[in-house]
């Protein structure tokens, strides 16, 4: 998956990242600043600081995801380079049927491998919340959007299989 595809594919999580990060920042800011500055902060000041910082921290975390998925740091390449086709491919499996999304998400486990049940893909193969072993859409709308981005109608796998194993 190229940089441009990865940015588009994971764009919806950027805002959710910011909100999750804000909660973590709120917990850290008061204690960190009070110990560093050696005085008590006014009540509620951490709310404004967290609100400002969440955007930068979310962008940083988002860029880590894009780099992991594409192999390229999106901050270090031009817009033209982001559009280039990449050699690395991802394998997308499309599950259909009643409750398909719920069923596959159960097989994969929680997004965070540390919270996933034993025997799930993410528990057994995931390393952390970014390198978690697999992706599954969270809704049919997300699935439709994601399939368009990765151009699911293209059959890239046949060419790869034939190159390595011959015509089947």
Catalytic residues: 135
Cα distance between residue 90 and residue 156, in whole Å: 10
Q: Which two tokens stand for residue 98?
A: 């009643």
Helices marked H in the chain: 3-37, 45-70, 79-82, 100-108, 121-125, 140-149, 156-165
């Amino acid at each position: 998956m190229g940089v441009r595809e990865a940015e588009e594919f994971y764009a919806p999580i950027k805002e959710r990242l910011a909100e999750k990060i804000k909660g973590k920042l709120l917990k850290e800011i008061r204690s960190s600043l009070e110990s560093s500055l050696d005085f008590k902060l006014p009540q509620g000041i951490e709310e404004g600081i967290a609100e400002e910082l969440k955007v930068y921290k979310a962008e940083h975390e988002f860029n880590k995801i894009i780099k992991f998925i594409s192999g390229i740091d999106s901050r270090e390449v031009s817009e033209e380079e982001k559009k280039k086709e990449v050699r690395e491919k991802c394998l997308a499996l499309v599950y259909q049927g009643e409750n398909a999304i719920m069923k596959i998400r159960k097989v994969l486990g929680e997004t965070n491998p540390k919270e996933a049940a034993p025997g799930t893909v993410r528990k057994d193969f995931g390393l952390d919340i970014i390198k978690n072993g697999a992706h599954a859409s969270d809704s049919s709308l997300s699935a439709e959007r994601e399939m368009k981005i990765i151009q699911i109608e293209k059959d890239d796998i046949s060419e790869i299989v034939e190159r390595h194993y011959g015509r089947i």
